[in-house]
Structures are given as C-alpha cells and as structure tokens.
Amino acid sequence: MALKDYNKAFRYGKKEYESRLLAGRKPTLESLDEVLPDEALSTESLGLVQIPIDQIVGTRYSGRSSAFASNFMPILESNTEFAIKWAKLSTSHEKEGIHEPIKAWEYMNKFYVEEGNKRVSVMKFFGAISIPGTVTRILPKKTNDKNVKVYYEFVNFYRVSKVNYITFSEEGQYAQLIKEMGKHPDEYWTDDDRLIFSSVYARFTAAFHAQGGQELEVSSAEAFLSFLHLYSYERVEEMSVEEINELVKKAWEEFVLLQYNDEEKVELKMTPTEDKPSLFEKWLPLGGNKEPSHLKVGFIYAKTPHSSAWTYSHELGRRHLEQTFPNEVTTVSYENITEKNIASALEEAIHAGCNIIFTTTPTFAQESLRAAITHPEVRILNCSLNTTHRYIRTYYTRMHEAKFLMGAIAGEMAENDKIVYIADYPILGTIAQINAFALGAQMTNPRAKVYLEWSTLKEQDIEKRIDEIDPNCISGKDIIVPDDNNHFYGVYHRESGGGEQKNLAMPLCHWGKFYEELIRTIMAGNWEQDNDVEKAINYWWGMPTGVVDVICSKKLPAGTVRLVNVLKHNYKTGQFHTFTDQMYAQGHILKEKKGETLSPEEVIEMDWLAENIIGRIPKIEELQEQAKPVLTQQGIETRKG
C-alpha cells in the first residue's frame, strides 16, 4: 500500500518536473542558498511552531533539492533507498501520524527545510495543513523595497498574534486586518483569539476554494480581508458554514476585482452612455432590452434639506426628477439616516418597491454594497468617488471644473492678492477642487495667494482667521439651505478691513440634471451595456453633461463674465482641461511637465497642494469627530494607507 502511494506521489512529481522543465523554469526545489542576499542578515529563533504546509517551498541547502520536484513530490525511482524510506514514513503517518518536528528556516514568510524533507513530502501528499517544526527566522535588511516593508509588517503582526498562515502582498493590509478584528496594533492575542480566528479563516477559505478561489490571482488572506471589510469580523465569527458559503457565492465579483490594481478596477464614466442598439435591434426595434415604463426611485439622506446644504442640493435633484418624469418616475426620500440605521432604511426602501436607490453620502457605501449583494434585483448607487465595488455603482461630479472658474473670478477681483478658500473634508476629489481654484486664480492674477482653511478642524475659528488674513475674496459654502441666515456663499468679495461684502459667483452642482440623465440611461437599456465591463462603475460627470456650472452675479464686470463664458464653452467642447501643462506643488516640486495632462485617476487621488496655496492637508486626528466617518471611507490619508 505504501509503495502504491509512493508511485502515485512519484507521478505527481514527474508531471510537475516535466511541466516546469518545458516552461524553462527550475524543476526541482528552491534552496535557501539561492534566494538569500549576499549581505549579512540577522536571525532569531521562533522555537517550535506549526508551519503551514503550503508555505514550505524548498530546502535549506541545494544538495537536498534534487530528489523532489518543485511541489515537494518525489522524482526518484521506486527501487531506490529513498523510495523505501518515503514509503515507511507514509505507513507510519497512516497508522499514528507524523509527530517528530522538522527543522526549518523562515525567510520572507517562506520556509526552507533543513531536516525532514521526506516528512514534508509525505504530509503534502496526504493534504496536511501544517506540520510541527523548530524554526529559525532570517531577517532581511530593512530597505524601501515593497516586499521587505510588507514582510516587516508581517513580523510585527506575528509578534502579537503568533499567526503565520496569513500572507499579504500590499502595505497596510496586516494593520487593516487587526483593525477589522477590533484590536489595537500592539494588543497581544490570547489562545482563544487564535482559536476563533483560525476557525473563522478556515471556514472562509473552504468556501472561497469551493467557488474556485484558487483560480484567481488573489490570496485567500486578501479575499478574507475583503470579506471582513464587507461583513465585519464580529458578524462573520457568528456565521455558520452555510451562511459563509452563500455570502461568498453572492459576493464573488468583489473577489474577482481584487486581481487588478486600483486603476484597472474602476471604469470611470465621464459622460452618459449612449444608446447603441445592436444590428438586430436596428432592423427590429422592438425594445426588447428596455426598462419597465415606471420606476420607483428612493433617496436616502444623512440629514434633512433644512439642516444640510448637501442634502438640500440632492433634494432639489429628487424634485427635478419628479417634474421631468411625472408619469414614468415616482420618488420617495428617507431623512436623518445614520450609519446605525442605514441597513434598515435600505430594506424599507426595497420593501416599498424601489427599483433604484441613491444613497447620498460616502458613509453609506458599505451598507449599500451589502444590500446590493443581497438584492441583486435592485440597482443601488452611492454618492462617492472611486470606490472599487462591482455590486453598487458610485457617482460624483467633476466640481473642480467649476472651481477653476471660481478661482479665475477670485483672482481677478482680489485687489490685495489675498484669497481665502474654506474647505471641509480632505477627501477624494476635494484636493483637486482646491488646486483647480488656485490654478484659476493664478491664471488671472499671477500674484494671488490662496489661504486654505479647514472648517472641520478642532477649535477652528474661521471668522478670526479671515480677519487676520484680511482677504479681498473668499470661497465659502457652495450652496446654503433656505433657513440659513448667512447670505454669502460661493465666491464673495470683502472690502479690506472687514468692510462691505458682495456675492460674485456660485458653483452649481445640478444633481437634478445628473439624476435625469442617469434615469434616461437606464430607461434606454444602457445600464446592462455598462455592465458588460468587468469593473467597478463610477459615474464622474462634469460641464459637458450640464451637471456642473457656474452662476455669475450681476455685480461681476462684463469682461470677467465673458472670460467665464469662454472657459465654460471650452470645457463643454473638450478644448480645455484643468490640469494641463506645467504645474508645481508647494516647495516648487514639479508635478506635471509642459504639454502633459493629468489622468482622471491622478486628479481624483491628488494629495498635494499647488504652489500658490498657503496651508496644508490636515491629519484625521486633527479634525472634529463629525468629519471622521467620511474620512474613514473617502479620506486622502485613508487611501494612502
């Protein structure tokens, strides 16, 4: 029986050997001698540990590697002494198990065997998960190499957890895992912590592999982290095997997306998708793929239209939708929704018959995603930028186009060259708006300085800062609610010394036009046309679609109005791009060469400030508590890791 097992293992080994040989790759085991760098390295003893079988990749010395294929299966004939010893170990394992520890070296979270190669081979043949071993760790020299940096994050993770079977490839992922578990980075795990984690991870891995996870270019650990981010460790811990299997199956496209880098994951739709009927539809326009004649659309707000300018602008959009489609669309809105009750609000909207739901703040993205996975028959869109999910779509406006025009107006009207720009959150897209404003001001007034102030900073007194700076122009709130007593918004002029103030212009985010165009896209049957792309869909529309505009005051000089109109026309016709040609960041750092244009992704992910800006991007801990949920989801600092 044991010899029969050896012959079977031998066939596995020969197949692997020949396959790698044909591919021009080394057919036998890797040796540690071959991968260690020349410089001296430090070591530390890890003692007796359970070594994950799939992380054992080679031998300590090259002389021991020739008896095995790269998968640790034997390649020596069955009449050799080696084969006889292997067969005896196989018999021993089947009768009583292999308990004698091997001796191994760990380098970059891979293990190389010094003593016990045949034991590892037998255990791999029988599909063991781990094997006991006495391990010495070899620590590489600390460098800026990404793999080395990720490895040292693993070393810190192992120090507190003693878990060695989780392998990540990106910086920050070990910290994310600890955060998802609700632990502090330096909090040591208990035996119960390790036992529960092992059980949860094993259940997920089994479900992931059952769906074909091994065929994806994604590690089980990375898929697991994505699953925890979606459902939370606490919830997954309580799930049965059947529940995990079902959710892994439903969320499968999320794991598929993990194979790609951030730019490859997202399909940015810069304009509405045009209706492109097939040849069959052209000849027989029966409308087979058109939408139902009536849609019910739900809007979920974090605040009320009377208390929040953001909510008010979306409410105007909802009303516009009803007025534009009085017979085709019915809408319903839900106000004062929080992260605690967003899940129930989504269920209520779905139960009420909504086939389309807009959740209007980035903090609702995760629950929107969960609801979309559970209810694939409902289209759910979240108002956020550059999120990488397949089951929901996100939408936002290219407000930086309007901000460039606003900056041009401010630069023209600031007699003392001082302009204050009041921002709220350092999130995706916001930095682009700030820089666009500064570049616009620089275009009309090369001497202009933009003083950047953040309204959400702790103990911030904006009015005091304005008095100290004494600017002639201020960029404040984009829009105000009807009940707001402050009548100054957009860009307004201020006489030196705190004198008379007057509105000059306001940026317009026409959510009504956005919702109208999106509903037209859906009614035309183009939703599924977009869905052919195996990426996350982000709608990011601007002036050419009419969702972004600038409204000028009658108090603006005629020449300035003409300039604004020319710039608008150039934006709408695609003749002008905000971030084109030579640009410098603070410190005179070149960010773009002459004749070049930043990509949409570079604009969205901006984390630098233009050279004529006086100010900085604050850290999360410097901001008020109310700002932190938004920053956790869409913050520049969060995305940088």
Q: Is the pLDDT score of 149 beyond 60?
A: yes
Considering just the CA atoms, what is the radius of gyration of the chain in Å?
30
Q: Is the pLDDT score of 235 beyond 80?
A: yes
Percent of the chain with pLDDT over 70: 95
pLDDT: is 472 or 498 the higher one? 472
For the segment 239-256, the average pLDDT, to the nearest whole number, is 94
Q: Which DSSP symbol is given to 69?
A: B
Q: Is the pLDDT score of 13 beyond 80?
A: yes
User: Could you please report the per-residue DSSP string of 521-550?
Assistant: HHHTTHHHHHHTSSSEEEEEE-GGGTSEEE
Domain range 399-511+544-624, CATH class: alpha beta
For the segment 226-243, the average pLDDT, to the nearest whole number, is 95
Q: Which two tokens stand for residue 204?
A: 């997920």
Q: What is the pLDDT of residue 296?
A: 97
Q: Is the pLDDT score of 641 beyond 80?
A: no
pLDDT (tens digit per residue) in 93-118: 988 888 899 999 999 999 999 999 99
Strand-pair partners of 134 = 48, 103
Residues 463, 418: Cα–Cα separation, whole Å? 15
pLDDT band at 285 (very low <50, low <70, confident <90, very high): very low
- φ and ψ at residue 452, rounded to 5 degrees: -90, 120
For the segment 188-208, the average pLDDT, to the nearest whole number, is 96
Q: Is the pLDDT score of 541 beyond 60?
A: yes
Sign of CA dihedral 405, 407, 410, 411: negative
Q: What is the pLDDT of residue 283?
A: 40
For the segment 597-610, the average pLDDT, to the nearest whole number, is 94
Q: Is the pLDDT score of 339 beyond 60?
A: yes
Sheet holding 473-475, edge to edge: 548-552, 501-509, 491-494, 473-475, 418-423, 449-454, 613-614
The answer as to CATH 3.40.50.300 being correct for domain 279-397+513-543 is: no
Q: What is the pLDDT of residue 284?
A: 40
Domain map of the chain by residue range? 1-141, 168-259, 279-397+513-543, 399-511+544-624
pLDDT band at 20 (very low <50, low <70, confident <90, very high): very high
Q: Is the pLDDT score of 277 beyond 70?
A: no
pLDDT (tens digit per residue) in 357-409: 999 999 999 999 999 999 999 999 999 987 888 899 999 999 999 999 999 99
CATH topology of domain 1-141: 3.90.1530
Q: Which two tokens stand for residue 25?
A: 């790759």
Domains 279-397+513-543 and 399-511+544-624 share a fold: yes
Which range, of 32-36, 102-106, 523-527, averages the lowest pLDDT? 523-527
Instruction: Decide if 367 contacts 346 (C-beta within 8 A).
Output: yes
pLDDT band at 279 (very low <50, low <70, confident <90, very high): very low
User: What is the pTM assigned to this prediction?
Assistant: 0.83
